[in-house]
Amino acid sequence: MRFGQFTVQVVSGGRLKMDGGTMFGVVPRAVWSRYVGPDAENLVPMATNCLLVDTGRNRVLIDAGCGGKLTEKQRALLAVESGSPLTDNLMSIGVAAADIDTVIMSHLHFDHAGGCTEFDAGGNLRPTFPRAAYVVQRGEWDLATADLPELRGAYPQENILPLRDAGCLRLIDGDVDIVPGIRSILTGGHSPAHQCLLIESGGAAAVYLGDLCPTAHHLPVRWGTSYDLDVLQLRRKKSALLAEIARHRWFAFFDHDPRVTHARLRPDEKRDFTLDEESVPDG
């Protein structure tokens, strides 16, 4: 889609399934299953909706999906599609890995950062996007590389350490203009240094919500995931940011919704916020 002077495209970083209880946290199954039907194993379909932004100066990728390094056991557990979905899907629209100059990470959990690195022909790990600077909040990097036993499954080191070793890591602190037209919004909540991304061009604006609000079903302020480390912080930031998006008629981009990749929002008495259905893309 044209977005002011920018072109913005949603590119899948891999479809998968996740446990419904994981995705909806403290929300009872009897409630969330009205909106998302779980399968016999209580799994619900999830997307990894990465964002390709061509500003005219920069070709920017926001988040990197699951990647292609998962073992067969891991793929089977999460029903992750085969191959390297992000780079395959970029190639299908004529974008090579070397065309990307900036990769911005909302945070570094495995389903967002798996596509940051890949194996070369010799089996060695390397950055997937060889000419790109990888932009990460410093607090997120410090947590992800702290080797805390309780977070080891969330932050596989093979997804992130090769970025430091290759010298392509750019650490930022707080709200920063990353490239002209794209600014970080430090939110915390889901992880202590989780960030959303504000995209502005020609009077148009959108926010990539990351896991502050992973799907359109999570628009109620109190709906979150079991991965949220600071629930109070998440609810405060989520409420304020969704209100701003609705007030200014910006687009909201959802990173895990398999049906609604982006839409405008409006306030709702029962569910806090809801989709402006006229803005929901077909398909």
Per-residue pLDDT tens over the stretch 165-210? 999 999 999 999 999 999 999 999 999 999 999 999 999 999 999 9
Per-residue pLDDT tens over the stretch 154-172? 999 999 999 999 999 999 9
Given a cut of 70, whether residue 86 has pLDDT beyond it is: yes
* SS3 annotation, 138-186: HHHHHHHCCCCHHHCCCCCHHHCHHHHHCCCEEEECCCCEEECCEEEEE
Per-residue pLDDT tens over the stretch 137-154? 999 999 999 989 888 889
Q: What is the pLDDT of residue 72?
A: 87
Q: What is the pLDDT of residue 158?
A: 96
Mean pLDDT of 91-112: 97
Considering the domain boundaries, does residue 115 fall inside one?
yes
Q: Which residue did the predictor score with more confidence, 153 or 111?
A: 111
* Range with the poorest average pLDDT among 68-82, 86-100, 264-278: 68-82
* Predicted TM-score (pTM) above 0.75: yes
Considering the domain boundaries, does residue 159 fall inside one?
yes
Residue 15's pLDDT band (cuts 50, 70, 90): very high
Report yes or no: 169 and 80 within 8 Å, Cβ to Cβ.
no
Q: Identify the three-state secondary structure at position 196.
A: strand
Per-residue pLDDT tens over the stretch 26-74? 999 999 999 999 999 999 999 999 999 999 999 999 999 999 998 888 8
Considering the domain boundaries, does residue 30 fall inside one?
yes
Given a cut of 80, whether residue 279 has pLDDT beyond it is: no
Residue 77's pLDDT band (cuts 50, 70, 90): confident
Considering the domain boundaries, does residue 129 fall inside one?
yes
Residue 240's pLDDT band (cuts 50, 70, 90): very high
By C-alpha distance, which of 41, 65, 30 is closest to 256?
A: 65
Q: Which residues pair with 274 in a beta bridge?
A: 266
Considering the domain boundaries, does residue 238 fall inside one?
no
Considering the domain boundaries, does residue 48 fall inside one?
yes
Which residues, including other chains, have CB under 8 Å from residue 188's CB and lie 6 or more apart?
194, 230, 233, 234, 237
Our count of domains for the chain comes to 1
Q: What is the pLDDT of residue 238?
A: 98
By C-alpha distance, which of 15, 6, 7, 3 is closest to 256?
A: 15
Domain that holds residue 60: 2-203
Cα separation, 15 vs 228, whole angstroms: 21
Find the CATH number of the domain harbouring 38: 3.60.15.10
Q: What is the pLDDT of residue 73?
A: 86
Given a cut of 70, whether residue 283 has pLDDT beyond it is: no
Considering the domain boundaries, does residue 254 fall inside one?
no
Backbone φ and ψ of 125, nearest 5°: -80, 140
- DSSP conformation class of 111: H
Task: Go through the chain and tell me how many residues it has.
Answer: 283
Q: What is the pLDDT of residue 74?
A: 83
Q: Which residue did the predictor score with more confidence, 5 or 280?
A: 5
Q: What is the pLDDT of residue 281?
A: 83
Considering the domain boundaries, does residue 25 fall inside one?
yes
